[in-house]
Amino acid sequence: MQTYVTLWKYTKDGLMDIKKTPKRFEFVKKVINSAGGKLLSIYGLVGEYDVVTVMEMPDEKAAAATILKICSTGRITSQTMIALSVDEFLKIAKEV
């Protein structure tokens, strides 16, 4: 499975009902699992972004559908990146 790192930022509406964050985290886990993925880690952040997740997903379509479903709540926006293991990254770097 491919690993994805997503940076999340609360919208104004998301900040207005911030107390619902525990329920939101459970929703995120459920959406990831239902798409065949696995949530590896989730952290709250202090800075430009509010949350970061690291997840494994079966493919890019599952990742895109998961992220869109989470963002469709109107409470959060995201930026997602594909993550390579250091071994994969070094192998590619040697081939360049």
Banded pLDDT at 76 (limits 50, 70, 90) = very high
Running DSSP on this structure, what letter comes out for residue 18? G
Q: What is the per-residue pLDDT across 11-61, written as a single tens digit (0 to 9) for each?
A: 999 999 999 999 999 999 999 999 999 999 999 999 999 999 999 999 999
Stretch 70-76: mean pLDDT? 95
Which pLDDT does position 7 carry in this prediction?
Answer: 98
- pLDDT score, position 87: 95
Q: Which residue ranges form the domains of the chain, and what is each CATH number?
A: 2-95 (3.30.70.260)
How does residue 91 score in pLDDT terms, banded at 50, 70 and 90?
Answer: very high
Burial of 90 (C-beta count, 10 Å sphere; 0-12/13-18/19+): exposed
Alpha-carbon distance of 96 to 25, in angstroms, equals 40
User: How far is 85 from 25, CA to CA, in rounded Å?
Assistant: 25
